[in-house]
Structure 1
Amino acid sequence: MAKKLPSPCIDVCKFRREGHCIGCSMTKAQKKMFKTLKRPEHREGFLTMLIHQQNDLGKYRHWTPAYLKKCAKKGMAPPPVLS
């Protein structure tokens, strides 16, 4: 069985940008929602949405390298949306 993509959270968790985390750009509701996503395609879709959200909000260039490092640490290949 394939491993699930890890959470986009990079363990910063400071909600200062209009309710968005300064580390990953997720809101508290989005963090809670990600935990309920079980299917890989749903998690990949969420990551695609999150990347667009980060681009719209700006100041999240640090997230991609941190998330790729998290995936590598868990022994996962990078998700296609980051390739």
Structure 2
Amino acid sequence: MAKTKLPSPCIDVCKFRREGHCIGCSMTKGQKKMFKSLKKPEFQEEFLRMLVHQQSDMGRYTHWTPAYLKKLKKKTGRTVLPV
């Protein structure tokens, strides 16, 4: 089965209040631009792994997983994080 592109990890909160990190997804503005430039699904999956690790290190991002899974299901039909 061919891998499909993943939707952005952004969950449309976009408030950069945690030392330059979004309170919704933990990405910085630079990371958001970087994700958009990743064309191969393998690279996008690796980025998601990094992001989940970053969220774990920073704490207080338990809201992201359910929000992203909802977005992932709507856009790709997948119901499991590819990490």
Q: Same fold by TM (over 0.5)?
A: yes
Which is worse superposed, 71-80 or 21-30? 71-80
CA shift for structure 1 position 2: 4.5
Percent identical residues? 73
TM-score normalised over the length of structure 2: 0.91
The C-alpha deviation readout for 1:49-77, integer Å capped at 9, x for no partner, is: 00000000000000000000001111331
Question: Partner of 2:36 in structure 1?
Answer: 35
Structure 2: unaligned runs, 5 residues or longer: none
Cα RMSD for the two superposed structures = 1.2
Aligned to 2:49: 48
TM-score normalised by structure 1 residue count: 0.91
1:1-83 aligned at under 5 Å gives the runs: 2-77=3-78, 78-81=80-83
Partners of 2:14 and 2:23 within 8 A in 1: yes
Distance 2:42 2:4 in 1: 12
Misfit runs of 4+, over 4 Å: none
